[in-house]
Amino acid sequence: MSQKIPQDSSSQVINIISQGTRIAGDIMAEGDLRIDGFLKGNIRTKGKLVIGSTGAIEGDIDCNFVEISGKVKGKINASDMLSMKSSAMVSGEISTPKLSVEPGSIFSGTCKMGQVADKQAVEPNK
């Protein structure tokens, strides 16, 4: 039997940066990405970004869904959700409509959730 492989399989692709790997530069990906090593640079992906407990990023993140167990220093823009596990250490700016923070995680910086414009429209003018 012959099986047809879909031409657009980018949503099924998982890119892995293993523990012990160090990268300097920006990463752009269509699929999911897992970082267990160190990245000094920016990440942009349409998929899910997972930063493992040994993973560390110094740079800006622009993704759909971000799950952090390691360390991040920089701006994080998660268009769907940001999940910080108990071992997460984040320093910088967060912008996301949904945020999940487990006890034990550490965050230092600013956080914007939801639509800021909607909130301003509801508040009366002073």
Instruction: Give the pLDDT of residue 121.
Output: 42
Report pTM. 0.81
φ/ψ region of 80 (left if φ > 0, alpha if ψ in -120 to 50, else beta) reads alpha
pLDDT digit string, tens, across residues 34-62:
999 999 999 999 999 999 999 999 999 99
Domain boundaries, the chain: 12-122
Residue 94 φ/ψ, nearest 5 degrees:
-120, 135
**Cβ distance 51 to 33 under 8 Å?**
no
Residues 6+ apart with CB under 8 A from 121: none
Instruction: Give the pLDDT of residue 123.
Output: 53
Instruction: Give the pLDDT of residue 5.
Output: 43
